[in-house]
Amino acid sequence: MARTAAAMIIGNELLSGKVRDANTQVLARELRALGVELRRVVVVPDEVPEIARELCSLRGTHDLVFTSGGVGPTHDDVTVEGIALGLGRRVERHEGIVRFLQEHLGPRCTEGHLAMARVVEGTELVGLDARWPAMVLGNVVVLPGVPESFASGLKALREHLRGDEAPYVLLEVLVAVDEGTIKPALDAVVLAFPDVSVGSYPRYDTSAHKVRVTFDGRDPARVRAAYEAFARSLDPEHLVR
Amino acid sequence: MARTAAAMIIGNELLSGKVRDANTQVLARELRALGVELRRVVVVPDEVPEIARELCSLRGTHDLVFTSGGVGPTHDDVTVEGIALGLGRRVERHEGIVRFLQEHLGPRCTEGHLAMARVVEGTELVGLDARWPAMVLGNVVVLPGVPESFASGLKALREHLRGDEAPYVLLEVLVAVDEGTIKPALDAVVLAFPDVSVGSYPRYDTSAHKVRVTFDGRDPARVRAAYEAFARSLDPEHLVR
């Protein structure tokens, strides 16, 4: 069985519309390449009990849980405390991060900066060299919310996360007519290829295609067969690509 | 007490990274203007049991629940079935939507298109005139996932959703130094203004500001007082704006 994953995106800035989340898409794509299925994303506020409760719920039902955000030094950075509460562990100061901060900041390093060295007891750090590390606690991975740091942390984790799943492959057909018109052809391919995930995404702008139909799966031959069966079943005039 | 809200964003395309969600930010901003607090967002796959379970969980714990996506005519549009299961109601064909589709599509209208007329028993339609309607079921609001339709559906609902909450106001300070450096000033304002939500958002690019500090609340005088207290407490050379 392929592994499943969930993400907890932490931050009032997302729930108040100040910021549009970019990390879910980066995580989703990274996991697809690893063959891991992202099943759920939850956005929660900067509140310790909410983070703790959601962590417990997600890690019991998914093989991997990723968190984004809330690991800075300020009052609204409460991810470490939330995860500690959820796992029933203490928060401690990590001497490796203290040294990292002191080396990088030099004489500018204050007690305020060292608040970033708080970790949950038992945390394994991955990639603490040039950049901020990912924190790993069993099946829980804690990443910063700033998009560049989130992406670089995930990249540092790539080998750590690699399993024996085949990566997902994706093929797509662009169609010039609407979803209602292609519904019979879609239903037929969905029925014939239960092992391929078929998606249908309409658009209502002036683009040349009205629907993007996608075929996803871990078996490239089956994905291609579904894609070809669908493309063949359409009126050639309805195909954009 | 101000009302709370949750959002359920439905779609494999988000969990596989094909699409980056745009609707959460639009919803968050609309709700801020109404004075409603968005507390949680959950992204779930196109699966009836998942949608049903999440709906039950969210509507028991929030005053309003918004769903995005899964209301088209194709096999992966299962939101109506998921909500029906969650609420223990039947799915029926809505004659008003049938007429709407027939009028808009004319002779192109097929049985495939009429799959869009499925609604949960007891659905109230808001804004079924020029555009696709929002479906309202008590405290549950069902909107399409296509961003233009999601935004126009929300706009049509504005009066329906208006309560007696004051809208949120937001002020912000841009700071030229890092979070560790301003942490004492931040901690002081957080302590002095427990009724104002203070956010601190770092960036690591070449922008002139290194941190954006935000002040949010429903009482404009208190938000301004917190903002001014913080700005006054900073070294003037550290202020960008």
Per-residue buried b or exposed e for B35-49, using 16+ beta carbons within 10 Å of the residue's own CB: bbbbbbbbbbbbbbe
Looking at residue B207, what is its pLDDT?
Answer: 85
Looking at residue A192, what is its pLDDT?
Answer: 97
pLDDT bin (cut points 50, 70, 90) of residue A207 is: confident
Beta strands A124-126 and A211-217, pairing class: unpaired
Mean pLDDT, range B12-36, rounded to an integer: 96
How do residues A127-144 score in pLDDT, each as one tens digit?
777 678 899 999 999 999
**Chain B contacts of A42, Cβ < 8 Å?**
40-43
Backbone angles phi, psi at A160, to 5 degrees: -55, -35
Backbone angles phi, psi at B85, to 5 degrees: -65, -45
ipTM of the complex, rounded to two decimals:
0.95
**Chain B contacts of A77, Cβ < 8 Å?**
200
How do residues B77-92 score in pLDDT, each as one tens digit?
999 999 999 999 999 9
Percent of chain B with pLDDT over 90: 89
Percent of chain B with pLDDT over 70: 100
Query: For B239, which DSSP code?
Result: B
The residue among B74, B100, B179, B191 with the most chain A CBs within 10 A of its CB, best to mutate, is B74
| pLDDT at B60 exceeding the cut of 80 | yes
Looking at residue A95, what is its pLDDT?
Answer: 93
Yes or no: say if B12 and B76 are a contact pair by the CB < 8 Å rule.
yes
Residue among A17, A29, A112 whose CB faces B25 most closely: A17
Backbone angles phi, psi at A137, to 5 degrees: -130, 90
pLDDT bin (cut points 50, 70, 90) of residue A160 is: very high
**Chain B contacts of A14, Cβ < 8 Å?**
24-25, 28, 41
Looking at residue B132, what is its pLDDT?
Answer: 80
The residue among B75, B114, B154, B191 with the most chain A CBs within 10 A of its CB, best to mutate, is B75
Residue A25 CA, chain-centre distance (Å), reads: 6
Give me the residue label for tokens 């004659």: B95
pLDDT bin (cut points 50, 70, 90) of residue B130 is: low
Query: For A88, which DSSP code?
Result: T
CA distance B93 to chain A (A): 16
Looking at residue B127, what is its pLDDT?
Answer: 79
| pLDDT at B121 exceeding the cut of 80 | yes
| pLDDT at A241 exceeding the cut of 90 | no
**Over chain B, what is the mean pLDDT?**
94
How do residues A66-94 score in pLDDT, each as one tens digit?
999 999 999 999 999 999 999 999 999 99
User: Which amino acid would we find at residue A41?
Assistant: V
**Token digits for B23?**
């609707």
Contacts for B127 with CB less than 8 Å, ≥ 6 apart? B133, B134, B152, B153, B156, B157
Yes or no: say if B48 and B78 are a contact pair by the CB < 8 Å rule.
yes
Beta strands A197-202 and A211-217, pairing class: antiparallel
How do residues B198-225 score in pLDDT, each as one tens digit?
999 998 888 889 999 999 999 999 999 9
Task: State which H helix or E strand residue A124 sits in.
Answer: strand A124-126
Looking at residue A130, what is its pLDDT?
Answer: 64
| pLDDT at A20 exceeding the cut of 90 | yes
**Chain B contacts of A37, Cβ < 8 Å?**
15
Looking at residue B205, what is its pLDDT?
Answer: 81
The residue among B43, B116, B216 with the most chain A CBs within 10 A of its CB, best to mutate, is B43
Mean pLDDT, range B95-121, rounded to an integer: 93
Q: Name the least confident of A144-148, A236-240, B163-167.
A: A236-240
